[in-house]
Amino acid sequence: MRLRGKVVVITGAARGIGRATAVACAAEGADLLLLDVCADLAGVPYPLGSAGQLEHTAALCRDRGVSVLTAKADVRDAVSVRDAVELAIERYGRIDSVVNNAGIAAPSGKRVHEITEDEWSLMIDVDLTGAWRLIREVGKTMSDARSGSIVNIASTAGLVGYRHFAGYVAAKHGLIGLTKAAALDYAPMQVRVNAVCPGNVRDTTEGEGLMLREIARALDVPADEHVAAFTQSQPMNRLVEPDDVAGAVVFLASDDSAQVTGSVLTVDGGFSAH
């Protein structure tokens, strides 16, 4: 029970990696505040997590015997993020870890000169600035407590380039830069900041994930062909499971990683070792 007695806030918790991470943290004893936008966003061409999916994640976590709060929160909105942090502190009195998982994979599938101003701004606002907003809100609280762990869910797209995904690649590269800078800012206060870079994560029925399917759609290739190509491109010749990513997050949120900060942990089957 590596997280017993700790309070963990997770964004984008309705499904996919967020759901897997929430359940893994609950299994390790953490009390949780689970956040999701619980609505579709104009400009994102696929359905985002719903309120029903968020509540299902919460039920899975409560089955592990922990306390779970849920809230609708849009990481693009500073007030929404602030309210969520205040909710966690009001209920639990503290926040020990934040997992910045909320993110979008599209609008994508275009060359750089084809991306509109609105498409670029939307991607950066959700995938990069959203994480900064949450770090900004918990930074003082964690600094005052002289304890805390922030885990940013980046991507192999934060390490290498991908054709026709310039906005996503830029946002995830920026998230790794934010991770390193924030780690140095908060190290004197014993607050750790790290990033996890998943490779190609399988869309599971249990997790209700859509990421690989959406990337295939953006590239205008059949999903099965896309999955087969990604599987072959990974040295371990299999897709990453959501639970693989969740395990890395639990390690970084726990005291097992007490001297780990400013680090980038890849969970990609060896893809970025090329």
Task: Give the position of tokens 């014993």.
Answer: 190
Q: Cis omega before residue 188 (within 30°)? A: no
Cβ neighbours, 10 Å, residue 151: 27
Angle at which helices 166-186 and 130-145 cross, to 10°? 10
Q: Which residues are catalytic?
A: 168
User: Cα(101)–Cα(103) distance, rounded to whole angstroms?
Assistant: 6
User: Cα(200)–Cα(238) distance, rounded to whole angstroms?
Assistant: 9
Task: Give the position of tokens 């991470």.
Answer: 21
Q: Which of 50, 6, 47 is nearest to 28 (CA)?
A: 6
Instruction: Give the Cα-Cα-Cα angle 154, 80, 8 (nearest 5 degrees).
Output: 55
Task: Give the position of tokens 């009195």.
Answer: 93
Q: Is 132 strand, coil or helix? A: helix
What is the 3-class SS of 36-75, one letter each residue? ECCCCCCCCCCCCCCHHHHHHHHHHHHCCCCCEEEEECCC
